[in-house]
Structure 1
Amino acid sequence: MSAGLSPLRRRLTTFERCYAVATQLRRETHVDQFVIRTGIPLQPFRVTARRPADDDVILAWVA
């Protein structure tokens, strides 16, 4: 998934980093956050406050 990425991009696009962002957003906004898998090599994970579509893969729900 991250074979062609620079070391910095690889570090910034980890699930752990995305989960940390979701946790921070949840704490600041009091709105549930979802970490989903995108299937896009440059952005393999994404944080969203909207409930993802049924075909999206939810990896974490920060409530």
Structure 2
Amino acid sequence: MIISSLSARRRHLTSFERCYAVACQLRDTTGADQFVVRTDDPLQPFRDSRHQPSEPETILALVA
């Protein structure tokens, strides 16, 4: 898998924990609910979204 060959810095920046922290900051800043979703992209395995994701992404957390 590509993730295992990424640098430690890249793994940190693309981690669920980092994504969740960004979602919390965005929720505090904007007041809008944030979804943390898993993607099929090995270079960006998690992302935040203000909108409910569609297939093939999977909701992992809702920051409300």
Relative to the length of structure 2, the TM-score reads 0.90
Give the structure with the larger strand fraction: 1
Matched with 1:59 is 60
Runs of 5+ unmatched residues, structure 1? none
CA RMSD for the aligned pairs?
1.2
CA drift of 1:4 comes to 1.4
Residue ranges of structure 2 left out of the alignment (5+ in a row): none
Distance 1:5 1:55 in 2: 23
Structure 1 runs of 4+ aligned residues shifted over 2 Å read none
1:41 alignment partner in structure 2:
42
Residue 40 of structure 2 aligns to a residue in which SS? strand
Give the counterpart letter for 2:31 in structure 1: H
Identity of aligned residues (%): 59
Look up the match of 2:12. 11
CA 1:7/1:55 → structure 2, altered by over 3 Å: closer, same or farther? closer
How many matched pairs?
63
Cα displacement (A) at 1:52 = 1.1
Contact 2:14 2:44 in 1 (8 A): yes
